Amino acid sequence: MEPENTDVSAQPDEAISAGDAATLGMILLAVEELWPESLAEDWDEVGLVAGHPSAEVSRILFAVDPTLEVIEEAVDWGAELLITHHPLLLKGVTSVAANTPKGKAVHRLIESGTALLTVHTNGDSAVGGVSDVLADALGLQDVVPLTPAANGLPEEGIGRVGDLADVQTLGEFAARVFGILPSVAGGVRVSGDRDGLVRRVALCGGAGDSLFNEVRASNADVYLTADLRHHPASEAREAAVNDRPYLIDVSHFASEWLWLPAAAEALGNVLTDQGHEIEIRVSTTNSDPWDFILTPG
């Protein structure tokens, strides 16, 4: 029997409450404590996108993507702050006119008084970040970064590599991956012998096909990531030694969604320790772009 994976829309409605209301500026300091901007990759754009630091915040919504649907969810709930993993404005723009999706998003945020904060590759790299949460969910032990951070602690960096407590077949491990991830159309794609044995696991939440050199150097039996393109995946399998590393390709959204509840709890704990009364909720919007998939048979 195949395991059932998480339904994002069916998550509990309880919000994490943290004493007194806080300003956006205070929350920015708490976020910096957890996910320092110095850990972000050079090409990335993280931090405050919209919002006034003096504005009071009593509700925060966490989400993967700052889509219009997610923004409406935040506005409807009365969140004064939306924290997303993915940036709204990663590439330069010359206009935020409301006749484009991104322009509409900016206008809706400002007009509704909803601040937007991006925690992207700094959230990937930090302790307790995206890949750490994924590694914990899979029960990996002796976990270290796949690529150590240039400006961080030894345990910080992009991706993670660690060992399973017990050897599993690739098929068993893939089923385990499927079982912990949110339910999305794309499912889980696997390259390798279903009965092949795996113990050492490399992973990277989000798109990770630029890290194959690091994966090979880690001696991983299997590499789990998202958005594996045809040529990098094909070349990695051609270069495999003893047929390893096997590859597991998952939804970009799904691989990063697991971090949201953990991030919400972490921020809630910091704000509670500071005496602030904040409600924090995880978005129930599935922003994976795919709706259905056809497979042989």
Whether 145 and 158 have beta carbons less than 8 Å apart is answered as: yes
Question: If the chain, 297 residues long, is cut into consecutive pieces of 10 residues, what is the mean pLDDT of each piece?
Answer: 63 60 94 97 96 97 98 98 97 89 96 98 97 98 96 94 98 98 94 98 97 97 97 96 97 97 97 94 96 88
79-103 pLDDT tens trace: 999 999 999 999 888 889 999 999 9
pLDDT at 3: 54
176-180 contacts: CB < 8 A, separation 24 or more? 176/3, 176/138, 177/138, 177/224, 177/248, 177/250, 178/2, 178/3, 178/5, 179/2, 179/3, 179/4, 179/5, 180/5, 180/6, 180/137, 180/138, 180/258
Indicate where the chain has its CATH 3.40.1390.30 domain(s).
8-123+256-282, 124-253
Question: Which residues are CB-contacts of 209 (< 8 A; sequence separation ≥ 6)?
Answer: 225, 227, 228, 229, 232, 233, 236
pLDDT at 6: 72
CATH class for the region spanning 124-253: alpha beta
204-251 pLDDT tens trace: 999 999 999 999 999 999 999 999 999 999 999 999 999 999 999 999
pLDDT at 1: 45
Element housing 98 (H / E):
none
Q: Is 153 helix (H, G, I), strand (E, B) or coil?
A: coil
Nearest to 14 by CA among 282, 274, 287, 286: 282
pLDDT at 224: 98
Within a 10 A sphere around the Cβ of 288, how many other Cβ atoms?
Answer: 19
| Cα torsion angle, 116, 121, 122, 125, sign | positive
Could you please state the CATH topology (level 3) that the domain comprising 8-123+256-282 is classified under.
3.40.1390
pLDDT at 12: 54
Within a 10 A sphere around the Cβ of 196, how many other Cβ atoms?
Answer: 17
Give the 3-state secondary structure percentages of the chain, helix then strand then coil, rounded to 5.
35, 25, 40
Element housing 31 (H / E):
helix 24-34
